[in-house]
Amino acid sequence: ATGEEIVEEQKVKVCFIPSGDSELELLESTSPDGPIAKFIEKNNGRNGIQHIALRVDNIEQTIADLLAKGVRMIDEKPRYGAGGSSIAFVHPKSTGGILVELCQRNK
């Protein structure tokens, strides 16, 4: 996917930039109380990597597999993400402090 999209539920404006088999996703907060604005504020105004996203074929099965292995999830059920995707976040306490997003695209 390319272009920009606002995801109201997450208070964020998203821009996808394709690069080979991967893509870069840039996020801009649409509200001072959004998660991206809070991340930047927490990090003393510095921009940086907020999370890493991994594309999966079946997000429900991936979540179930991770939970069965004792992985802590922020989202135990998928929610709406940019580009019509289903997303879920793995808790950083289960990934050495890195926020990981699972993403399933149906397109």
The model's pLDDT over 44-89, given as tens digits with 9 standing for 90+, comes to 666 667 888 899 999 999 999 999 999 999 999 999 988 889 999 9
pLDDT tops 60 at residue 1 = no
Positive or negative CA dihedral for 41, 50, 63, 15? positive
Q: From the CB of residue 101, how many other CB atoms can be counted at a distance below 10 Å?
A: 19
pLDDT computed for residue 49 by the predictor: 75
pLDDT computed for residue 16 by the predictor: 82
Residues 30 and 21: their CA atoms lie apart, in Å, by 29
The DSSP letter of residue 73 is B
**Could you give the 3-state DSSP secondary structure of residue 85?**
strand
pLDDT computed for residue 10 by the predictor: 87
Side-chain-side CA neighbours of residue 88 (13 Å): 21
Going from N- to C-terminal start, the domains of the chain cover 1-50, 51-106
Q: From the CB of residue 30, how many other CB atoms can be counted at a distance below 10 Å?
A: 15
Put simply, whether the predicted model's pTM sits higher than 0.85 gets the answer no
CATH superfamily of the domain spanning 51-106: 2,3-Dihydroxybiphenyl 1,2-Dioxygenase, domain 1 (3.10.180.10)
